[in-house]
Structure 1
Amino acid sequence: MPATCDFVTLHTGQKMPLVGLGTWKSDRGQVKEAVKHALSVGYRHIDCAAAYSNEAEIGEAFQECVGANKIIKREDLFVTSKLWNTKHHPEDVEPALRKTLGDMKLDYLDLYLMHWPHAFERGDNLFPKNPDNTMRYDYIDYKDTWKAMEKLVEKGLVKAIGLSNFNSRQIDDVLSVATVKPAVLQVECHPYLAQNELIAHCQKRGLVVTAYSPLGSPDRMWKHPDEPVLLEEPGIKKIAEKYSKSPAQIILRWQVQRKVVVIPKSVTPARIQQNLQVFDFSLTEEEMSHIGRLNKNWRYIVPMITVN
């Protein structure tokens, strides 16, 4: 029987499931089956991005599973995608979204995020570089990009818009010009990078926070040999034993219990299912505080995108 998932309500009135399937690093050839399995076990939130280069395959899964006379009605599914850095020019925003919609076989998105505050050189090369291997940036103000994203809401192509990898100052900068306010901020967030101040700032401003890499992104290629391994944290393992859950489930429960949305990535059927099974128990206040105190301000995802 599919698991049920609690949700958080956006300022638009939309209900956003607290657990979604992340698709970053999900290879073509694997992501279609991962999405189909996730939908079959109860997921109703899929997090995507043009830059992951797998939206067409996700679209195949949606075509098979979503719509009239299929396992899920479109209105019961929450789909997020993201505008990539090479498409920040206001003229490029709607075509970029329409490409995503075409690839994913959808008429609209539930949420469209600006993936990063920085603009890269316009074009179809995802990572345009100089001869010395540094990124080629474009000087487009993200507020101008935001105004173009607002038009997508007016046209009914997206239901909500938001931000990813923005800091508090940048969020307030967008809010200063916004007629459509950002509904969500997506950032790296886990017990070693608790983001308490940023979350409090977002809550004051009416934004819901989504945590990417909520388990510390253990399958990254570029691991540092000395980095702390979140899933091996003794305090978390001890709590997991108490509840007969995995360390991953304890970490995800900590986030959803504080109303932070999580989008763990997996292509393994058992793990996809396990990541959703976090609504049949609650952590005590003491356990919540203990996990919250593990913060080290440790980033596993060190952006290759840097600006002087």
Structure 2
Amino acid sequence: MVHDISGLHHVGHIVHDMGQALEQYRRMGFALPGPAYPVVGEPPEPVGVGNTHAYFAGNFVELVAVAGAGRVPDDARLIPLRVPGDRLPVLKEAVRGTAANLESCLRRFEGVHILMFDSSDIDGGAARLAASGVGHGGVQVAQRPVETVDGVRMEPVRWLEIDGARRGLVPEGRVGLAENASAHDAADHPNGAVELVECVLCVADDELDEAEGRYTRYVGGAASRDGAARTFALGDGRARVTLVGASGLDGLLPGEGVAALPGFAAYSVAVRDVAATSRFLREAGVPVRESSAGEVFVPAREALGVAIIFRQAG
């Protein structure tokens, strides 16, 4: 594996209703702060998208909802976008474009549509992708609010999105690289989660070879094969991306499917004590199943369109 990909940066779970999603994620034992919504004008008008994060030491799971869809939770943080009046139409158009991309994903199904690889050298990654014939929108720079023990701080982030049939979108959603300038504080999750370690992409059986070729170019390394699964180990090997044909998904996650192909069917988080996590989920009334590898997972129908696997850390 090349040096510019070090692991998983985050997955993005796009939901219809942020309030409902927060309730479900907190019930599953994830600690999430109130979502941030950018607002403009007076009275404040939410625009673009609202989001919040389940933070781990080195990465996170993001919950995303289009502003205006569903209810704005009571603990939401409104972030004013302050720009000169003559720039306001341009800004609104930009955030509408972001929201339109996410709405197109949501029309396919509610679930995970964003996968960002963690990069320690995003400029090198951008050059490598271009040399491999992978189109992308170039390295972008922004700041995002991050919840810490000392309050909210603005953290710079640099990212790029890989282009497919549409700018910033490949068939399964938004895929790219991201590089943080500084680490964020990890939350203390009641379910014991400590790290995002896997994302599972399900594709049509006859498109598995094509998808493997794409991800070989995305991550700069080859997959290992184990039955129906094709797995790309990332960085030091703790994190991975797994591709599976539709006919093989049930063999990995019994009873699971994807509403539209290709689609991200599941993601995995490492936990301190998987037995304790299983007890926590059952006591909270969260239905769980067992994967073919003997791991506990929450089915997609209980987790708003994506199966969530809990894996023993280490």
Same fold (TM over 0.5): no
Q: Which has the higher helix share?
A: 1
Normalised to the residue count of structure 2, the TM-score between the two structures is 0.30
Normalised to the residue count of structure 1, the TM-score between the two structures is 0.30
